[in-house]
Structure 1
Amino acid sequence: MIEEIKKLIEQDIKTTELRVDGDGSHYQVIVVSEEFDGLRAVKKQQMVYAAVNEHIASGEIHALTIKAYTPAEWEKAKLFV
């Protein structure tokens, strides 16, 4: 399922970095994209949710934790990850 989640996100969002971790139906994603530039955190998360919504609706993904960054935000944030 991890590879499937990556594939779905990459189909909708041009990422510069993408990390997916998890097991069963609980997953964590870090998405870095220039497409997030100028967007608020909620809008970034909505874009990621839209990419995997079919699997959330079906129950395959029960919980998804999203951390979405622009490349500049990621440079700062990854110091703490």
Structure 2
Amino acid sequence: MTDLPKYTLSPAPQSDAWVLRADDGNTEVARFDTKTDALAGGALEAALPDGRGSVKIQREDGVFEEERTYPRSADPRRSPG
């Protein structure tokens, strides 16, 4: 299996928006009005180039809350989640 591209969803500085950035250069991939918008209805997966990637999701305080893998079938079988 090839390595999935890695991304981070975090609050945008000085804004209420949430930003999805590629970890390999900090390039903004997508912007959402709220965290709920980003996580609802497949919006996060749809924002990923080719619909593939591993996304770390931060809370507003900067602590990582969870990690999601898209597509789900690419999730390592040994992961606890």
Structure 1 length as normaliser, TM-score? 0.31
Q: Which structure's residues are more often helix, by fraction?
A: 1
Structure 2 length as normaliser, TM-score? 0.31
Higher relative contact order (CA 8 A, sep 6+): 1
Q: Which structure's residues are more often strand, by fraction?
A: 2
